[in-house]
Amino acid sequence: MIFFHIQAYLMAFFFIFDFSIGFIPDSNNKFVPSKNFYENGGILNFENDINNEERKKRRIYNSLKTIRENRQRIKQRREAEAKRRRERKKIIKNVNQGIHNKRLENNKKTEKIRRELREKKKHRELEKRKSTRLFTRSSTLTTTTTVSTTVSTNSSNNSP
């Protein structure tokens, strides 16, 4: 009985293996040598197929390489543009800072001149107010008269 089971198992295995080869699509058997492989120049076709595959691989590799190089060039170009933009901003900032400093210096100079003019004017007015002296001479007596003037400003516009 065991012998019969072993024989049935082997026959089933053989038939399954034998029939399964017939159901494999031709695309999978492309590079499997057949009976007429060596007679019909199959070696040359096989080598040509290998060469074609190598060419395809080289084309793919070269296209990927060019894509990588293009991306790298684009990245470098962007970095260079960003660097130029930063340098331009820095130059513009320095120029604007110089202009601002010149304006501050000019404002200081004009303010100093105005302050000096105001002080001179104030000093002149004080001198005028302090002493307006009139000397009168007589034969025996010299009199000195001091006239002081006061300026009053009315802040309201409703003066009569």
14-24, pLDDT tens digit by residue? 666 665 554 44
Dihedral angle of Cα 59, 61, 63, 67, to the nearest 10 degrees: 180
Q: Stretch 45-71: mean pLDDT, rounded?
A: 87
CA angle 59/60/62 to nearest 5° reads 65
Q: Which two tokens stand for residue 118?
A: 């105001």
Higher pLDDT, 8 or 137: 8
Task: Give residue 7's pLDDT band: very low, low, confident or very high (50, 70, 90).
Answer: confident
107, amino acid identity: N
Flag the least confident range among 10-19, 25-34, 71-80: 25-34
- Tell me the DSSP string of 53-74: HHHHHHHHHHHHHHHHHHHHHH
pLDDT of residue 106: 96
State which H helix or E strand residue 36 sits in: none
Residue 3 scores a pLDDT above 80: no
If you average pLDDT over residues 60-73, what whole number do you get?
Answer: 96
| Residue boundaries of the structural domains of the chain | 30-144
Residues 90-145 have pLDDT tens digits of 999 999 999 999 999 999 999 999 999 999 998 888 888 776 654 445 555 555 66
Alpha helices in 26-137 (DSSP H): 42-130
List, for residues 30-54, the tens digit of each pLDDT value.
555 555 555 555 555 666 777 888 8
